[in-house]
Amino acid sequence: MADRPLTSLSPADTEAIAAEVAARLEPGDSVWLRGELGVGKTAFVRGAARALGVAQPVTSPTYTVGNRYVANGVSVAHLDLYRSSGITIEEWADLEPYFEDAIAFVEWPDAGAGLLPDPRVTVDIDHLQGDARLITLSCDDSGLLNALAAALARYRD
């Protein structure tokens, strides 16, 4: 089920929205991020990772499929499956450790359909005019979705 879309007017807004999501996640949870190239998926992950205490720069994984950080004793993983056209079971063996006991964020998750663990939260980001973005959060847990809707009410019109 999806919340009514939120409006982000800047990268800072997107990071602040991500921080509210991150605050409600636990190791073992993953978040899927969908939206076209350059829409702000990595910006969202950056805000979430910051909120979880990651101090290192959070950039798109380029030479590897993912990055993994540890902050406050919690592992935070960031995967980008853009270059994968579809993950094979052999490739999944390399990806699986990123998810182990971590809060994991996955850009372009559709390449991993059927193999990735189910997401706790899905984030869809769409371009509006200029820097504005529409951010839709979906989650099967109505309690979590309601808590997020309440915390993020100021981003909804």
- List interacting residues with ligand ATP (CB under 6 A): 8, 10-11, 13-14, 35, 37-43, 60, 107, 131, 133
**Strand ranges for 2-157 from DSSP E:** 6-8, 30-34, 66-71, 74-80, 102-107, 121-127, 133-138
| d(C-alpha 114, C-alpha 38), whole Å | 25
Q: How far is the CB of 156 from Mg ion (least distance, A)?
A: 25
Task: Identify the sign of the CA torsion 48, 101, 120, 41.
Answer: positive
Q: Please, which residue, 78 or 120, has the CB nearer to ligand ATP?
A: 78
| Among ligand ATP, Mg ion, none, residue 40 binds (CB under 5-8 Å by kind) | ligand ATP
Q: How far is the CB of 41 from Mg ion (least distance, A)?
A: 5
- Chain positions 98 to 127 lying near Mg ion, rule: CB under 5 A, are 107
Q: How many CB atoms lie within 10 A of CB 156?
A: 12
| Among Mg ion, ligand ATP, none, residue 143 binds (CB under 5-8 Å by kind) | none
| d(C-alpha 20, C-alpha 147), whole Å | 10
Binding site for Mg ion (CB under 5 A): 41-42, 60, 107
